[in-house]
Amino acid sequence: MNTLRLALRNLLRNRRRSLMTLFAMVIGAVTILLFGGYARNITYGLQTGYVRRSGHLQIQHKDYFLYGSGNPAAFGIVHYQHVMDVVAHDPVLAPMLRVVTPTLSLGGIAGNFAASVSRTVVGTGVVVESQNRMVQWNDYHLPFEIRPVALSGTPDDAVIVGIGVARVLQLCKALDVPNCKQPESLPAQGPDTPPDIAALAAEAKPAGTTSGGEPRIELLAANVHGAPNVASLRVFKAVTQGIKEFDDIYVGLHLVQAQRLVYGADPPQATAVVLQLEHTNQIPAARARLQELLATTLKDEPLEIQDFEVLNPFYGQANNLFAAIFGFMALLIGAIVLFTVSNTMSMAVVERTTEIGTLRAVGLRRSGVRRLFVCEGALLGLIGALAGVALALILAWLVNHSGLTWLPPGQVDPTPLTVRVWGEMRLITGCALGLIVVASLSAWWPARRAARMNIVDALRHV
* Residues making contact with other proteins (CB under 8 A): 1, 6, 9-10, 12-13, 354-355, 357-368, 455-456, 459
What's the min distance (Å) between Cβ of 363 and other proteins? 3
Pairing of strands 97-112, 216-222: antiparallel
233/378 with CB nearer other proteins: 378
What's the min distance (Å) between Cβ of 385 and other proteins? 23
Contact 4, 320 (CB under 8 A): no
What's the min distance (Å) between Cβ of 11 and other proteins? 9
320/454 with CB nearer other proteins: 454
What's the min distance (Å) between Cβ of 8 and other proteins? 9
What's the min distance (Å) between Cβ of 358 and other proteins? 4
Rounded to a whole number of angstroms, the distance between the first and last alpha carbons of the chain is 27
Q: How far apart are CA 351 and CA 106, in angstroms?
A: 76
Contact 392, 30 (CB under 8 A): yes
Residue 221 φ/ψ, nearest 5 degrees:
-145, 160
What is the distance of C-alpha 334 from the center of its chain?
Answer: 27
66/362 with CB nearer other proteins: 362
What's the min distance (Å) between Cβ of 138 and other proteins? 54
> Which DSSP letter does residue 281 get?
G
Rg (CA), the chain: 32
What's the min distance (Å) between Cβ of 379 and other proteins? 13
What's the min distance (Å) between Cβ of 368 and other proteins? 8
For residue 268, CA distances in Å to 261, 323, 442 come to 10, 43, 67
134/359 with CB nearer other proteins: 359
What's the min distance (Å) between Cβ of 365 and other proteins? 4
Residue 319 φ/ψ, nearest 5 degrees:
-60, -40
325/456 with CB nearer other proteins: 456
Q: How far apart are CA 447 and CA 354, in angstroms?
A: 15
For 443: left if phi > 0, alpha if psi spans -120 to 50, otherwise beta; the answer is: alpha
Q: Closest Cα to residue 253, out of 103, 125, 121?
A: 125
351/413 with CB nearer other proteins: 351
6/336 with CB nearer other proteins: 6
52/352 with CB nearer other proteins: 352
15/141 with CB nearer other proteins: 15
Q: How far apart are CA 345 and CA 325, in angstroms?
A: 30
Q: How far apart are CA 419 and CA 400, in angstroms?
A: 6
Contact 159, 253 (CB under 8 A): yes
Contact 70, 106 (CB under 8 A): yes
CB atoms within 10 A of CB 216: 20
Q: How far apart are CA 1 and CA 427, in angstroms?
A: 35
DSSP characters for 306-356? Answer: EEHHHH-HHHHHHHHHHHHHHHHHHHHHHHHHHHHHHHHHHHHHHHTHHHH
123/357 with CB nearer other proteins: 357
What is the distance of C-alpha 103 from the center of its chain?
Answer: 22
What's the min distance (Å) between Cβ of 26 and other proteins? 24
